[in-house]
Amino acid sequence: MTTSTLKKELYKKIDSIDDNSLLEAVYTILKMSTSSKKSFEPMSEEDFFSRNAISQKNIKEGKLISHTAIKNRFAKQK
């Protein structure tokens, strides 16, 4: 598919979406692609270990959402 054709198809698809949440998600993705490259800088080792520690704590405390629950949540939004 050419770039021009792909753009036309995307315009059509986006124009047919009535779900505001989905439109906001698409907007966020498109905004990220045009924003500064700084948003994708690698994290420092210190940040990595800090985030990992928080994740491990949440896991131990049972603060999790199952894969099935996430799939069900997004299936209902369609």
Tally of structural domains, the chain:
2
Instruction: Give the containing element (helix H, strand E) for 47.
Output: helix 45-60
Q: 40 in a domain, yes or no?
A: no
Q: Which domain holds residue 11?
A: 1-35
pLDDT reported for residue 35: 60
pLDDT tens-place string over residues 18-31: 988 888 888 888 88
Per the CB < 8 A criterion, the answer to whether 17 and 23 are in contact is: yes
% pLDDT > 70, the chain: 88
Determine the number of helices (DSSP H) and then strands (DSSP E) in the chain.
Answer: 4, 0
Do 78 and 55 share a structural domain? Answer: yes
Do 53 and 31 share a structural domain? Answer: no
Q: 69 in a domain, yes or no?
A: yes
Q: 41 in a domain, yes or no?
A: no
pLDDT tens-place string over residues 5-20: 999 999 999 999 998 8
